[in-house]
Every structure is written in structure tokens, then in C-alpha cells.
Amino acid sequence: MARKIHPEILKFLSGISLFQKLSPAVLTRIYQNIEERNIYNHDVIYYRGDISDKLFIVRHGEVMLTFGESGKSVKYLGEGEFFAENSLMTRTQHAGSAIAVMDTLLYVLDGHFFLELAQKEPILSGNLIRLMSNRFREHLEPDNKITSLPRRMICHVPLEEVQGYKEKLDAIVEIGGYSHVGKMTLVPMESFEKVSLQDAIRKLSLLRNKFPIIHLYFQQVGLKPEFDKLLLQADQIVFWEDNPERNQKKKLKLYLISDLGSVILREERFVM
């Protein structure tokens, strides 16, 4: 039995540049051939050298594309953006990898269906040709606008009372701003209280477009269970503590939540 399409999903699909001006009937057919795939942060979607037979669309979350042998050139994709169309169309290997950098829901469209539909729907094929032409032209530009500044999200967790905690965080951001062209900001975890993980990730992804480096921080001492999943979106966790041994149980709980290492976390301690 074919899936019914929710008006919100229809609106989302119609807003994707590749699907603009397609009729609701065609968008419904596309949705009926989509597989929803949850990808956890730091999980690889495909590697450099792979060949895709799928088209990937970011429903929500954030994906990092790497370019070149070193993988140091990167581009970040957010909600409503798509990727892997070049490998799908040309049957060539990916020039880089695709990695989820926050928990991400992908709409995965079967490549065989997509290519057949593009042959039948002139609007879709026209959109595809125009978008691929634009991306090819971007690659040829001298300043290579496709690449982005590397992004990082660090979370600060005070496990004990820290004198001048906020002032020290302000100093970290101020000093770090000199080497990152000011593209760094502080965001309290408590600002996401009563916000769903999906909406929190959406807000952070939008903020990262302006500030590639975000320092999340707890205003109060200790870990709060309601923020566990958001905390695990961080690339690095910094524990502020005087006696690391005294807080082992608290940190062990966090590692258990992360499924014993399924999420790669870099732990650092700030010893007072």
C-alpha cells in the first residue's frame, strides 16, 4: 500500500531546488520511493572511492562532505540540501567522503527510480542539468566557494563549582577569536530547555553557518539527563573539575549513554 504524504513533507520536498515546480502528484511519487535513514553524528554515509546508486536528501541534521585526497577541503549541508547526484549520474567514484556531523535524518531516493523519472519529467531533468552545471562552475571558480571553514562544537561541563567559570569561558572565546576571524561563540545549554533534539540541531546547524566554532556550556554544575542527547552532538567535551577521580561515576554514565564509544568523543579536563 502506497504511503500517504503529509502536507508538511510535501511542502519540504517542493522547497528543494531539485524538485522545484514539480506537481504534487510527482512529489508524491518521489516520496513513495524514499527510504528514511537515521544517521548518528560522526557516522560515515559513504567513503571516498565509493559509487552511489542513491540520491541523499538532508531532512534534518547536518552532513560534511570532504574533497581531495587529504579531505581537508570540506562543505557542510543542512536541511533541504541533497548530495551524491554526480556519482549517481556519471557512475564515477566519489572524490570525497560524506559524514554526519550531527544526528541526521536522510531521505534516500532510489537512483534507478530517480533517473527514470528524470527522463519522463522535463521539469525535473531541467532542474538537474541546471544544478549540476552550477556546481561544476563553482568548482572552476578561483576562490572555490564550495568549501567551508571547518566546524567544531565543544561542550563545557562543570562537574564542580568553578570560580570565575563564565569569565574563563568568555576569555577562551575572545582569545580563540583572534585565530578564527571571530567566528566563534558561546551558547548556554539551558537555552535548549524544552526544545526537541531535532529543533535544537536545526538551530545549531543554522548558527554554525555564521559561527563555525561553537562552545556550548552548562550554566549550572553537573550533567542534566534532558540534555544527554544534545551533549553527545559535541565533537569534544571539556570537564571542569578539581579532582578528576572524584567524578568518574558521572563521566562513566555519559560514556554508557553514548553506547560505549559508538560516538567518538574527545575528553579534556580543565583542572582548577
- Mean pLDDT for 63-69 is 86
- Mean pLDDT for 114-119 is 95
pLDDT at 267: 44
Quick one: the chain helix, strand, coil %, rounded to 5? Answer: 40, 25, 35
Amino acid at 101: V
Domain residue spans in the chain? Answer: 7-140, 152-271
pLDDT at 11: 95
- The model's confidence at residue 241, banded by pLDDT at 50, 70 and 90, is confident
pLDDT at 228: 87
Domain 7-140: which CATH class?
Answer: mainly beta
User: What does the pLDDT look like over 185-230, one tens digit per residue?
Assistant: 999 999 999 999 999 999 999 999 889 999 999 999 988 888 988 9
Give the Cα separation of 123 and 20 in Å (integer).
Answer: 8
Give the Cα separation of 59 and 39 in Å (integer).
Answer: 11
Residue-wise DSSP of 51-109: --SEEEEEEEEEEEEEETTT--EEEEE-TT-EE-HHHHHH----SS-EEEEEEEEEEEE
- Mean pLDDT for 107-135 is 92
Locate 67 and state its grid cell: 574533497
Position 271 pLDDT exceeds 70: no
- The model's confidence at residue 177, banded by pLDDT at 50, 70 and 90, is confident
